[in-house]
Amino acid sequence: MAMNADLRYPIGPPERHQHLTAEQRLPLIENVAQMPACLAIAVDGLTAAQLDTPYRPGGWTVRQVVHHLADSHMNSFVRFKLALTEDAPTVKTYDEARWAETVEAKTPPIEISQSLLGSLHARWVMLMRAMGEDEWSRKISHPERGIVTLDENLCLYSWHSRHHVAHITALRERERWG
């Protein structure tokens, strides 16, 4: 995967598509399925000091990124479930920057969120692989993004999975952490 010079967006900005074909969805679902394993490789062997290093100047620490992934992906999973069980429900936003500053996002071992992500992604991927074609056009109403289809949410979280792992791997490369 080519890295972008912008440390905020190491793989570039997300691409969002409101409607995908079944063939287009497969690699995106696979990105979500593989994220916990890719994250485990990205953080393998990092020391406590390395985990507490920001991935870029002014950015979150590696530890905060791992816990952010759990926070964000739990919210997305819930949004999938809401879209599948309600008619275009309005979802609640959350202040991810403030969430990243709470004590359980800044200090605990990353294994807590890694374990959560492994189980969460297993359920999420099972759900997505079982969804029918018509279910992908189901929607949520997002107060900031407007109407979002599940296809569009899949695009975003396939990217999000790779985006934050790339923050960590790019930092490892820059710092020569091996």
Provide the sign of the torsion angle of the four alpha carbons 32, 38, 43, 45, taken in this order. positive
Q: What is the pLDDT of residues 154-170, one digit of tens each?
A: 999 999 999 999 999 99
Are the C-beta atoms of residues 156 and 107 closer than 8 Å to each other?
no
- pLDDT for the residue 67: 98
Query: Does position 3 have pLDDT exceeding 70, yes or no?
Result: no
pLDDT digits (tens, 9 = 90+) for 67-122: 999 999 999 999 999 999 999 999 999 999 999 999 999 999 999 999 999 999 99
Q: CA dist 92 to 88, 99, 144, Å? A: 13, 14, 10
pLDDT of residue 6: 84
Q: What is the pLDDT of residue 2?
A: 54
Q: Which pLDDT does position 74 carry in this prediction?
A: 98
In the predicted model, what is the mean pLDDT of residues 30-35? 98
Question: According to DSSP H, which parts of the chain are helical?
Answer: 22-43, 48-51, 62-85, 96-99, 103-106, 111-130, 150-175
Kindly give, in sequence order, each residue whose CB lies less than 8 Å from that of residue 19, ignoring residues fewer than 6 positions away.
136, 137, 149, 151
In this prediction, residues 137-151 reach a mean pLDDT of 96
Q: DSSP class of residue 87?
A: S
Contact 29, 154 (CB under 8 A): yes
% of the chain surpassing 90 pLDDT: 93
Q: Do 70 and 116 touch, CB atoms closer than 8 A?
A: yes
Q: What is the mean pLDDT of the chain?
A: 95
Report domain 23-175's class.
Answer: mainly alpha
For residue 57, the model assigns a pLDDT of: 94
Look at residue 1 and tell me whether its pLDDT is greater than 70.
Answer: no
